[in-house]
Amino acid sequence: MATSQDQLSSVIVLMVPFPAQSHLNQLLQLSHVVSSYNIPVHYVSSALHNSQIKSRAPNHHLAKIHFQDLPTPHFVSPQPTKTANNFPTHLVPACEAFDHLRQPFLDLLTRLSRTAKRVVIIHDYLMSYAVRDCDSLAPNSETYAFHCISPTSEYAFVRGAMGGGLGIDHDHDNQLKIPSWPSSIDPRFDAFVAKQYPFVRANKSGHLYNACRLIESEFLDFIFDKVLESDDKMKLWAVGPLDTLTICKKSPLNNSINGDSEQVYYLEWLERQKPNSVLYISFGTTTFLEDRQIEEMAIGLEKSEVNFFWVLRDADRGDIFGDEQKVGGPQLPKGFEERVKGKGIVVREWVPQFEILGHPSTGGFMSHCGWNSCLESMGLGVPLIAWPMHSDQPMNAALVTEFVKVGLAVEEWEKREELVSSSTIENVVKRLMDSDEGDEIRKRAEKLGGELRKATAEGGVSRLELDSFISHITR
């Protein structure tokens, strides 16, 4: 899309993320993409969370971004602990603290609005309360909500709020089975979401989704027509998967691996494995597994005799740089790593997930099904073993396993409170990585990955929507 330099120089974009790693990451991806159109982009968050995202992001995502540090609101940062519904309640204080960024953000907006014809605010929808009155205080600003969850999970949220009376047919035959929102979220966080919702619906400038119409068009249409109650002025753009806009094919680890000895060892291990032979295992930044579940996992993996790359970390605290870190971390059975040496590798630090999934040796992904992980896996054509824990994850798992059929479920969501046995883990790992059934799922995943990469390439459906959004804000 051609846009004159005069237009571009008159517009600046402020990205306002929510303080959770997957949300921080998606807004950074969008920042990287928007800045590629030669539009100045300011990434606005607390100094603490700007430091967090910069410490974990690929270097090429940082080159053109202006980071704006707002004063970090005080919040407690408790240790991650197991909860009844697996929801990371230890992060709630950080979430609630960010409601108080309203005034610091308005001060920044006032200053920047003097230097541009138009200031475009793209905020995580969970930050709607904090940016709610920007349009009225800065007449040359426009505010757009960015949705970091899948349209499928948002549909489930609305269905629950309306008493479950909504239905979307899958293939006009069986209604798609999507878990209920109340079964996967903590009431305290649910109240936080409810606080944002009136301001999300009141936003008439527009909404962006890290989603693709190739797989979720019916859910996007439902949201636009029934939830947002669209009028002629409000628009919706589905511009995902954002990660495939920058790296669209399987390739060796690149810019995120900088040659440090701490990272080279697992790069070298991956390079020695056969194509599609490694199961990558990671449960994101908010999941807490008890030692007895880790033990069952280890036994199941060992018995499966499948090659694996297991990221075994504690969940992030609200302040990942805090001094009071848990001593020792998750514990493996005695002698496990020695017994699986050469067959599997256990990594306890932060790793560049997208690049690992994109490595030719990676043939499967056991995941908590956070939306960022699902998009990365689907975009790279890697099939999933779905093990959702909380929030939108069970809805994403349903999309992956039932709708696009590029994954297997570890167990039914109704059994989420039960310990998953080593035999169950062994069985599902073999099904995906060493069976004809797994080969067929992998073929579907690779086909879907190709379609999603085409969608984000020049002329693809997601790229056209992105171009439409850029044209709109630079009009």
* Predicted confidence (pLDDT) per residue in 343-374, tens digit: 999 999 889 999 999 999 999 999 999 999 99
- Enclosing H/E stretch for 209: strand 207-209
Please give the Cα distance from 411 to 397 (Å, whole number).
11
Domain 261-452 = CATH 1.20.1630.10: no
Cβ(93)–Cβ(71) below 8 Å = no
Q: Residue 327 pLDDT more than 50? A: no
Q: What is the pLDDT of residue 12?
A: 93
Q: What is the pLDDT of residue 399?
A: 95
Helices (H) and strands (E) in the chain, counts: 18, 15
How far is residue 275 CA from its own chain's centroid? 26
Question: What pairing do the DSSP bridges indicate for beta strands 407-409 and 169-170?
Answer: unpaired
Q: And the tokens for 386?
A: 């779905």
The upper half-sphere exposure of residue 57, i.e. CA atoms within 13 Å in the direction of its Cβ, equals 25
Per-residue pLDDT, averaged over 298-317, amounts to: 94
Q: What is the pLDDT of residue 69?
A: 96
Residue 241 preceded by cis peptide, ω within 30: yes
Backbone angles phi, psi at 70, to 5 degrees: -95, 155
Rounded (to 5) percent helix, strand, coil in the chain: 45, 15, 40
Per-residue pLDDT, averaged over 146-159, amounts to: 88
- Enclosing H/E stretch for 170: strand 169-170
pLDDT band at 162 (very low <50, low <70, confident <90, very high): low
Per-residue pLDDT, averaged over 22-38, amounts to: 95
Cβ(404)–Cβ(379) below 8 Å = no
User: Torsion angle of alpha carbons 332, 333, 338, 341, nearest 10°?
Assistant: -60
Q: Residue 251 pLDDT more than 70? A: no
Q: Of residues 234 and 360, which shows the higher confidence score?
A: 360
The set of catalytic residues is: 23, 124
Q: What is the pLDDT of residue 244?
A: 81
Q: Residue 248 pLDDT more than 80? A: no
- Longest alpha-carbon distance in the chain: 65
pLDDT band at 202 (very low <50, low <70, confident <90, very high): confident
Q: Of residues 265 and 421, which shows the higher confidence score?
A: 421
Q: What is the pLDDT of residue 164?
A: 53
Task: Provide the 8-state DSSP code for 360.
Answer: T
Residue appearing with tokens 């570890």: 410
Q: What is the pLDDT of residue 250?
A: 38
Please give the share of the chain, as a percent, with pLDDT higher than 90: 56
- Enclosing H/E stretch for 401: none
Per-residue pLDDT, averaged over 105-122, amounts to: 92
Q: Of residues 120 and 263, which shows the higher confidence score?
A: 120
Please state the CATH superfamily assignment of the domain spanning residues 5-245+457-473 in this structure. Glycogen Phosphorylase B; (3.40.50.2000)
pLDDT band at 257 (very low <50, low <70, confident <90, very high): very low
Please give the share of the chain, as a percent, with pLDDT higher than 70: 87
Check if 5-245+457-473 and 261-452 are the same fold.
Answer: yes
Question: Where exactly are the structural domains of the chain?
Answer: 5-245+457-473, 261-452
Per-residue pLDDT, averaged over 1-24, amounts to: 75
Cβ(333)–Cβ(299) below 8 Å = yes
Its sign, for the CA torsion 81, 317, 186, 174, is negative
